[in-house]
């Protein structure tokens, strides 16, 4: 059977990791393509591949991914069998539409966002992606949603706990700690426009069989984690809560993000001044501007943080439940190193953890185990093949259970 051609859409820090991992595993795929609104950024990623010794053929393309017709046309032009969408979350639905029309498998790493709306009615997947389930099934394609790290790998951690540890899951607490430092006065690790939107709206968690709401930074607690030690994390709104709550209706599902006091102080000032608003305002000169876009313009490009980034990340799931009526808990996690990520692929650790998993998903589609022929979130798919493959690709999973701390 002919190997599937791959089209990567996007050319930021995560896309750079994704392209490097596709290159490392090029034997799994056919022709390789990367597209971006600014073609020069895609060319720069191809150049970074050459600098690491990857000499296989890559083709770059200019693409307005907000245009479903253009996406469909490019998929057909390059005969892409798998599309890895690692662009801004604003393009998810047009890229998915192009895949449905052209018959290509679709993978993304984050939930769709409407530029004019923040923090819509939960579950968030129900507002856009899940409405296309029937269309995806009718087209006979595979669409894997949220196949980054969180969402993505952490969803697989929950599924692994379900498959191998518990017959009843009581709670899933996802903890994301970046114990690294980029050396800048202030910056965000992903596109600021998307990053800030995560933390300006209502914090939704699934507890007691219903949606609970809090304000950002309202609920915090200290976590003592492997390698990174004691860290403060706050109950936060995040994509994976909105799919895991559907599969684990009787469990409490919460997401905790680590923040330092400096980040919280700067964030609070920006928010209180109205600078994180996505709604346009008029300047004294009559020019219409979006405050959030202005903040994005003055902050460092997240990709530029990579060379100076030091330290480690620890992201994992604390899952509590019972097996045959006997209660227990398990912590399933990964630790990544910023400097090691930069040495390997030229990106920092946050981008690395987000950019490797969609390539593992693409490989599992190409090989067959994840070629589901329908729309699926990661927890709907077999977890162990995914986690074992990620271990081979540089994101090893460890487990702390009753027998100690060991590889998955």
Residues 6 or more apart in contact with residue 325 via CB below 8 angstroms: none
In the chain, the domains with their CATH numbers are 5-148+348-393 (3.40.50.720), 153-345 (3.30.360.10)
The mean-pLDDT minimum among 85-99, 263-277, 378-392 falls in 263-277
pLDDT band for position 199 (cuts 50, 70, 90): confident
Question: What's the chain's average pLDDT?
Answer: 95
pLDDT band for position 150 (cuts 50, 70, 90): very high
- C-alpha–C-alpha distance, residues 244 and 262, integer Å: 31
pLDDT band for position 261 (cuts 50, 70, 90): very high
Q: Give the model's pLDDT for residue 306.
A: 87
The mean-pLDDT minimum among 80-94, 272-286, 354-368 falls in 272-286
Q: Give the model's pLDDT for residue 189.
A: 83
Q: Give the model's pLDDT for residue 266.
A: 94
- C-alpha separations of 233 from 155, 201, 230, 264, 335 in Å: 19, 17, 10, 11, 16
Other residues' Cβ atoms within 10 Å of the Cβ of residue 67: 15
H-helix segments, 55-179: 68-78, 92-102, 133-139, 153-164
Positive or negative: CA dihedral 195, 199, 201, 206: positive
Q: 17-48: b or e for each residue (b if 16 or more CB lie within 10 Å)?
A: bbbbbbbbbbebbbbbbbbbbeeebbeebbeb
What's the predicted TM-score (pTM) here?
0.95
Q: Does residue 198 have a pLDDT over 80? A: no
Q: Does residue 208 have a pLDDT over 80? A: yes
Q: Give the model's pLDDT for residue 39.
A: 98
Residue carrying the six token digits 């009718």 = 138
Can you give the C-alpha Rg of the chain in angstroms?
20
Mean pLDDT computed over 185-190: 89
Instruction: Measure the CA angle with vertex 152, ends 146 and 158; round to 5°.
Output: 130
Rounded percentage of the chain residues whose pLDDT exceeds 90: 89
The mean-pLDDT minimum among 18-22, 274-278, 283-287 falls in 274-278
pLDDT band for position 194 (cuts 50, 70, 90): confident
């Amino acid at each position: 059977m002919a190997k599937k051609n791959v089209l990567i859409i996007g050319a930021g820090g995560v896309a750079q990791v994704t392209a490097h991992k596709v290159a490392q595993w090029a034997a799994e795929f056919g022709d390789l393509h990367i597209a971006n609104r600014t073609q020069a950024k895609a060319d720069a990623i191809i150049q970074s591949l050459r600098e690491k010794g990857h000499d296989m053929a890559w083709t770059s393309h200019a693409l307005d991914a907000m245009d479903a017709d253009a996406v469909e046309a490019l998929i057909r032009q390059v005969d892409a069998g798998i599309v890895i969408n690692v662009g801004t979350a604003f393009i998810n639905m047009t890229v998915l539409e192009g895949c449905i029309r052209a018959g290509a498998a679709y993978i993304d790493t984050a939930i769709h966002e409407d530029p004019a709306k923040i923090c819509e009615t939960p579950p968030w997947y129900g507002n856009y992606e899940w409405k296309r389930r029937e269309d995806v099934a009718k087209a006979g394609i595979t669409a894997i949603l949220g196949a980054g790290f969180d969402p993505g790998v952490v969803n697989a951690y929950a599924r692994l706990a379900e498959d191998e540890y518990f017959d009843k899951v009581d709670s899933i607490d996802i903890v994301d700690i970046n114990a690294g430092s980029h050396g800048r006065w202030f910056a965000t690790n992903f596109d600021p426009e998307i990053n800030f939107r995560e933390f300006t709206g209502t914090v939704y968690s699934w507890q007691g069989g219903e949606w609970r709401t809090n304000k950002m930074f309202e609920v915090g607690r200290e976590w003592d984690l492997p390698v990174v030690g004691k860290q403060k994390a706050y109950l936060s709104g995040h994509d994976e809560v909105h799919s895991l709550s559907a599969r684990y209706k009787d469990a409490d599902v919460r997401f905790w993000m680590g923040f330092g006091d400096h980040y919280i102080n700067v964030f609070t000032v920006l928010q209180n001044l109205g600078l994180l608003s996505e709604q346009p305002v008029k300047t004294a000169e009559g020019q219409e501007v979006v405050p959030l876009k202005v903040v994005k313009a003055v902050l460092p490009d997240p990709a530029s943080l990579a060379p100076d980034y030091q330290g480690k990340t620890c992201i994992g799931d604390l899952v509590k439940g019972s097996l045959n009526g006997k209660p227990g808990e398990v912590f399933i996690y990964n630790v990544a190193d910023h400097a090691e990520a930069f040495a390997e692929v030229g990106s920092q650790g946050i981008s690395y953890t987000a950019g490797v998993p969609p390539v593992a998903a693409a490989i599992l589609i190409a090989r067959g185990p994840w070629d589901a022929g329908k729309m699926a979130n990661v927890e709907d798919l077999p977890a162990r093949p995914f986690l074992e493959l990620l271990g081979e690709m540089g994101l090893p999973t460890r487990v702390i259970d009753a027998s100690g701390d060991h590889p998955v």
